[in-house]
Amino acid sequence: MSEIESRLIENRVFFPNADFAKNAKLSDMSEYMAMCQLSNEGYEQFWAELAREFLIWHSPFTSILNDQNPPFYRWFEDGMLNASYNCIDRHVRSGNGDKVALVFESDDGKIEKVSYKTLLVKVCKFANALIRKGYKKGDRAIIYMPMSIEGVVSMQACARLGITHSVVFGGFSAKSLEERIIDVGAKLIITADVQVRGGKNIPLKKAVDEALTGEASKIVKDVIVYRRTGIEIEMSPRDVFLDEIIESEEDYCEPVYVESEHPLFVLYTSGSTGRPKGIQHSTGGYLLHSALTMFYTFDIKPDDIFWCTADIGWITGHTYVAYGPLATGNTQIIFEGVPTFPDAGRFWQMIEKHGVSIFYTAPTAIRALIKASSLNQRVAPENYNLKSLRLLGTVGEPINPEAWVWYYKNVGGSRCPIVDTFWQTETGGHVITPMPGATPLIPGSCTLPFPGIDAAVVDETGQELPNGKGGMLVIRKPWPSMIRTIWGDAERFKKTYFPKELGGKFYLAGDGSIRDEKNGYFTIMGRIDDVLNISGHRLGTMEIESALVAYEDVAEAAVVGKPDEVTGESIVAFVVLKSKRPENVKEISEKAKVLQNWVAKEIGPIAKPKEIRFGDNLPKTRSGKIMRRLLRALAKGEKIQQDVSTLENPAILEQLSGT
Ligand code: PRX
């Protein structure tokens, strides 16, 4: 509760800077309200007009929203379009072909710029190579690539042909990759020899080979390998090098126009069960919100240099790297490396070097950089010229007000608004966010819904709660960029996101939220399900538990989150071994290391528990239910206040207390 209370007493208000507001799309709250009112008065018409304004339709839609079969909503369903045409060709056709689309900076600081015209050629050559290999609309491809021009080109080439892509973050293990290949039924994998991060080569192709040793190998027909460094790798008859297959391909490839509802991509994310969910997005509705939020939330202008630091393996890297900034025809930075290499001044140095005007990153990075600059003044943002910045953004997790204010003052020079954007893999783009020229900002609050998004805080029965009362965050009306289904599991989609208790029509975000009594601003209180947020990355506790119990010596495991200064939350695992419980410090740390590495291998290094505690048992009720609330308290080192006499084994608490 202390976290919630501390946010509630936050009363600093930062008004939009007058210069910024003067030139902004929405210059004050009355303009924001007018847009909201427009959406209230004619909900479908509101979205239809935006869809006509922001996207180029090959054949126009006549149906706006088909809500005959909730929650399987369909938007603009008889319209046809192509995402890659909307992101690239349209700008070339309108005379902006020479404008720089991508500025790539490698881990070691090399720069490559790609114009819209060149991007079109790259995407077309790749698409032609895919056609030659027999791929077509409706096929699925897994993309397991580093942050690179080729990563974006792969996504765009799939989109050009109506191939549904599923990008797997390069930090996920071979096992995670294998599960996703099987679930999505991908015949094609696009990968690289390695990815380079923080001066190290991390093998990708090797993980693909490992993923293709079992069932997945029967599904996959082709593996296309981008040579990032050209180091020697093993190639099997199914593997080909990207540079070789595109070499003699034509520079132009006709886009394949698809129905608006055609799945542009499936992106896996964690939920409250052990199995990640393949979140399926549409083409038209998704692309609309990508472009729209670039325009309104980021107030993007033709000359802006936009930099979203997210990896293409996450939703943020889809919407605000691979699609959004291209849909609006802007120039963006793509960064291969990490914020702390060669030192923690890298972001600031890059902002200065490239003249970045809009910078979008995660609170965890901000907190890590605050810490780094407090330890080493030389990497602090004040040592760099950050005058080019005009707008800052954050995403992925709640930002604590102190980090917000630091970001505002030290990075934004107290002149740049900060858009704290709340959204999710499932929402496709921002759903609650300030409008930077209009919304007065309160640190720690994502403020108000994007116009047209009917967000509310409700109780377990779906009843709206008054401001000042915490409850569940829902969105009450369908919107164009919403999740369409869980790939291959429509039932789970319905149950998870549109529960019967809420009438089956409200989208349940899975976050707790509270609205401010005075101004109705939303504050996100964190997940209400068993999902953790580690450095802005979503991980299900069940997923980590399943990984742990898959280890031969583990009898039982329970995973909880614990607040962490830098990563927001960290993972604490309580483990019961089949063999004897390790007792001395050396045994404990050795066993913990083995299990940490095991989880890294099963899921990926991001899922490694920071701390593992061993016990002879876990605290359970007499009916055998694990008392997670107690485990959370133990992880935090809190004193157990509640009566534990109903526990089957109260003595176990002492053993698991970690002292
Ligand atoms: O808990 C919320 C948190 O991140 C979750 C969504 O995670 P994911 O699907 O991986 O997408 C992250 C990038 C969009 C949410 O359920 N979250 C995201 N943005 C914010 C946030 N929590 C608080 N404030 C935010 N701005």
- What HEC string does 541-599 produce? HHHHHHHHHCCCCEEEEEEEEEEECCCEEEEEEEEEECCCCCCCHHHHHHHHHHHHHHH
Q: Which residues line ligand 1 (CB under 6 A)?
A: 269, 315-316, 395-398, 420-425, 446, 509-511, 524, 527, 533, 538
Q: Which two tokens stand for residue 190?
A: 């696009």
Phi, psi angle pair for 649, to nearest 5°: -145, 65
Residue written as token pair 């993972």: 571
For atom 14 of ligand 1, the residue with the nearest CA is 424
**Which residues have CB under 8 Å from 602's CB, separation 6+?**
173, 175, 176, 547, 550
Q: Which two tokens stand for residue 473?
A: 């965050």
Compute the distance from residue 424 Cα to the ligand 1 centre, in Å: 5
Residue 549 one-letter amino acid: V
Q: DSSP letters of 171-188?
A: TS-HHHHHHHHHHHT-SE
For atom 6 of ligand 1, the residue with the nearest CA is 424
As a whole number of angstroms, the distance between CA 559 and CA 534 comes to 13
As a whole number of angstroms, the distance between CA 222 and CA 244 comes to 14
Compute the distance from residue 310 Cα to the ligand 1 centre, in Å: 13
Classify residue 621 by its DSSP letter: B
CA 310 to ligand 1: nearest atom: 13
Mean pLDDT per 10-residue run, the chain (659 residues)? 46 92 96 98 98 98 98 98 98 98 98 98 98 98 98 98 98 96 98 97 98 97 98 97 98 98 97 88 98 98 98 98 98 97 98 98 95 96 98 95 96 98 98 98 97 97 96 98 98 96 94 95 92 91 93 94 93 95 94 97 95 93 84 90 78 84
As a whole number of angstroms, the distance between CA 310 and CA 426 comes to 17
Compute the distance from residue 487 Cα to the ligand 1 centre, in Å: 21
Compute the distance from residue 3 Cα to the ligand 1 centre, in Å: 17
Q: Pick from 395, 420, 427 the residue to mutate for probing ligand 1's pocket: most ligand atoms within 8 Å of its CB.
A: 395
Q: Pick from 524, 525, 569 the residue to mutate for probing ligand 1's pocket: most ligand atoms within 8 Å of its CB.
A: 524
Determine the pLDDT at residue 1.
32
Angle of helix 116-132 relative to helix 149-161, nearest 10 degrees, comes to 60
As a whole number of angstroms, the distance between CA 334 and CA 72 comes to 35
CA 510 to ligand 1: nearest atom: 16
SS (H, E, C) 419-468: EEEECCHHHCCCCECCCCCCCCECCCCCECECCCCCEEEECCCCCECCCC
Measured between alpha carbons, how far is residue 635 from residues 212, 349, 656, 659 in Å?
Answer: 38, 38, 9, 11
Torsion of CA 585, 589, 591, 597, to 10 degrees: 180
Torsion of CA 286, 287, 292, 294, to 10 degrees: 110
Determine the pLDDT at residue 4.
41
For atom 5 of ligand 1, the residue with the nearest CA is 424
For atom 3 of ligand 1, the residue with the nearest CA is 397
Residue written as token pair 């291969």: 336
Classify residue 260 by its DSSP letter: T
For atom 8 of ligand 1, the residue with the nearest CA is 424
335 Rama class: left (phi>0) / alpha (psi -120 to 50) / beta: beta
Contact 545, 559 (CB under 8 A): yes
Determine the pLDDT at residue 9.
56
Q: What count of other Cβ atoms lies within 10 Å of the Cβ of residue 280?
A: 24
> How are strands ordered across the β-sheet holding 100-105?
111-115, 100-105, 331-335, 305-308, 358-361, 391-395, 418-421
Q: How far apart are the first and last CA of the chain?
A: 24
- Identify which of 434, 450, 454 has the alpha carbon closest to the alpha carbon of residue 442: 434
As a whole number of angstroms, the distance between CA 392 and CA 359 comes to 5
Compute the distance from residue 216 Cα to the ligand 1 centre, in Å: 31
Compute the distance from residue 526 Cα to the ligand 1 centre, in Å: 8
- Identify which of 616, 610, 581 has the alpha carbon closest to the alpha carbon of residue 596: 610
Compute the distance from residue 648 Cα to the ligand 1 centre, in Å: 37
Q: Which two tokens stand for residue 241?
A: 């090098």
**Which residues have CB under 8 Å from 125's CB, separation 6+?**
246, 249, 250, 251, 253
Is the Cα torsion angle 445, 448, 454, 460 positive or negative in sign? positive
CA 509 to ligand 1: nearest atom: 16
